[in-house]
Amino acid sequence: MSRFSEIIKSDKPVLIDFYADWCRPCKMMAPILKQVKDTLGDRVKILKIDVDKNQRLAAAQNVRGVPTLVLFKNGKQLWRQSGVVQAQDILAVVNQYL
């Protein structure tokens, strides 16, 4: 959990994808997140966290369903969305904080 706290304190946006291997919509997010990363490159950090392997962290972040995307910068949560989110929508949000 302390490593997570360090990561989200970054001064560049950190997009966390809380997912589960058994979740179909989570699988749909993989190519979308790749597209976001390809577009933004090193201007954003994207981290995938398996909720089944990180139950305490998911509970601490109030993740109730998967996929849940959370955007952090300087340790503050800036945006949160559950379900499949399209690349252009993610890009629009992240670009506000670059």
Domain boundaries, the chain: 2-96
DSSP-assigned letters across all residues of 10-53: -SS-EEEEEE-TT-HHHHHHHHHHHHHHHHHGGGSEEEEEETTT
Q: What is the pTM of this model?
A: 0.95
Is the pLDDT at 1 greater than 80, yes or no? no
Residues noted as catalytic: 23, 26
Question: Phi, psi at residue 68, to the nearest 5°?
Answer: -125, 125
- The two tokens of residue 70 are 């959370």
Q: Do residues 73 and 47 make contact, with C-beta atoms less than 8 angstroms apart? A: no
Q: Do residues 64 and 11 make contact, with C-beta atoms less than 8 angstroms apart? A: no
pLDDT tens digits, one per residue of 17-68: 999 999 999 999 999 999 999 999 999 999 999 999 999 999 999 999 999 9
Q: Which CATH superfamily is domain 2-96 in?
A: Glutaredoxin (3.40.30.10)
The pLDDT, as a whole number, for residue 49 is 97
The pLDDT, as a whole number, for residue 2 is 79
- The two tokens of residue 36 are 């976001």
Q: Do residues 61 and 49 make contact, with C-beta atoms less than 8 angstroms apart? A: no
Is the pLDDT at 16 greater than 70, yes or no? yes
